[in-house]
Each structure stands twice: as C-alpha cells, then as structure tokens.
Copies of this chain bind each other. A is one copy, B any other.
Amino acid sequence: MGRVYLIGAGPGDPELLTLKAARILAQAEVVLRDGLVSREVLAMVAAGARVIDAGKRCGRQGLGQEEINALLVLYGTQSEVVVRLKGGDPSVFGRAGEELEALRDAGIEVEIVPGVTAAVGAAAAAGISLTDRRLASQVVLSTYSRRAGSGAGEWGALTPETTLVLYMPGREYGEIAQRLREAGLPADFPCVIVSSIGRPEQEIRWSNVGRLGSEARLSPPAILIAGRVAAREWKRRGGAVLQGFDEALELAGVNEKGG
C-alpha cells in the first residue's frame, strides 16, 4: 500500500511548481495527469514512471471521474508513490473532493500538495492585486456555466468592492458581460482576461464590462478577473476613468500613494 498525492502543478509556468511537488514527481512510480499540465512539468517526472493522460484534448474524450477514481485506487494498492497531477491547485475547481473520498473509502493514504491556483497566477501576470484594500474587500472564485442553477446565479451578490475571478470563462463573453450587468456592475467596470498564464503564448486582454462582449476570444485555458483592482492598469492603458474609482479612494481615506 502506498500513498497517493493530489498535486497542484500551478498555472502553467513550470517554475511555479512547488519544491515539494518537484520532489515527489521525481520519486513517482505512476502519474495520472490532466490535460492542463505542461510538457516542461512532465519532464520533472521520474524517468521510469508510468504517465497516464486522463485529460480531454483535441476532441478526444478523457477518462471519466469514476474511471480516474478506480485507477487511483488500483495504483494506490500497487505502488508506493502515486501522483494525481492537476493544473493550478487541486482544491479549487479540481475535483479533489471525489478523488479524496474514493481513496479514503478504499483505505488508501492520500495527501494534497497545494499549488499556485490560476486566480493568483493571472493576477501576477497582469501585475495587479486581487484585494487592494482601498478598492476590494473580498474575492469570489467562481466559474461560468450556461446551465441554469449553476454558480453563475450567485453573482447576484456582487458589489463593486468584490473582485470576481472566473475560472474557465469559455467563449461566451457577451453572456458573461450580460450577467455582470445584471449583477449590478457598471459598463465601465474593468476586467482583464489572461490566457495561457506564464507560458510563452500568454495573452492579456484589458477590457471592461461594456466592451467585453465584442472582444476577440482568447484561447483556453484562461481566467477572467472583474474588479476595481484592475482600474489603475486599465487607466494606464488609456481606458476611461472608472466611475466612482476616485471616490472609492477618497472614501477609503487614503491618497493615491497609499497610507
């Protein structure tokens, strides 16, 4: 009986792997990877290890969650060091819950090795904070789904002091913009989309809620950040001044240089 490690590989740049993740990958006997893990990260896997690709890609159907669970239980019974390798962090939209449960039910030791989640990877790439205390008091991590009753309904709760980070925003920018308007955000509320975070093909698109629907689509994987925290960069790039932005700074009792 071995141990299964659910490892977060970070947002894409292989240097954003943790030291712990790198150490365990170098000892792994079996690695079950998802589609978001880069070639450079896979190069850190022990030479003799078996690497199984569980991801969906290029129209190819990936393994289902029940199949992945069954394989993890099998490998955990046969091998000492088994890795389930995921993009970002396993506990944020990474299906870790179901895998933890299957392994525990089977009596197999399991450990999560946390990683750099895509939200903070995107903020770093765009050079912004998610929680500038003068502009935002909280961050919501969510996804966009067209399904009724999905998480999207909960954005009704958004306030201008919330930074919304959407994982897997897809291509329906117009629908997302519409939902953001319905949630009470003004047309000049800034947002930024980052695709292929930390990879050579990384792209960053500065926009706002009003323009979002007509922006050219970026390739997945991508992250969309909507929040006042993007206002200053938006402004530096010549965008219109955000409604209430200067008022917010004043209300916060700070001047432009912080305090």
> Which A residues are closer than 8 A to B by beta carbons?
8, 10-11, 13-20, 22-23, 65-66, 69, 89-98, 100-102, 105, 110-117, 120-121, 123-124, 127-135, 137-143, 150-151, 154, 156-157, 159, 161-162, 229, 232, 256-259
Q: Which residues of B contact A95 (CB under 8 A)?
A: 129, 133
Cross-chain contact B140 with A258 (CB below 8 angstroms): no
Report how many copies the assembly holds.
Answer: 2
Cross-chain contact B23 with A15 (CB below 8 angstroms): yes
Chain B's closest residue to A151 (CB) is B137
Q: List 14 A-B contacts (CB under 8 A).
A: A65-B258, A91-B124, A96-B132, A101-B232, A102-B257, A102-B258, A112-B123, A112-B127, A115-B116, A137-B142, A137-B151, A137-B154, A138-B141, A154-B159
Chain B's closest residue to A138 (CB) is B142
A-B CB proximity, top 4 nearest: A157-B157, A137-B151, A97-B132, A98-B258
Provide the bound-state CA to CA distance between A102 and B232, in Å. Answer: 12
Chain B's closest residue to A150 (CB) is B137
Distance between A92 CB and nearest chain B CB, rounded to angstroms: 6
Provide the bound-state CA to CA distance between A65 and B18, in Å. Answer: 29
Provide the bound-state CA to CA distance between A159 and B151, in Å. Answer: 10
Q: Which residues of B contact A101 (CB under 8 A)?
A: 232, 256-258
Cross-chain contact A129 with B96 (CB below 8 angstroms): yes
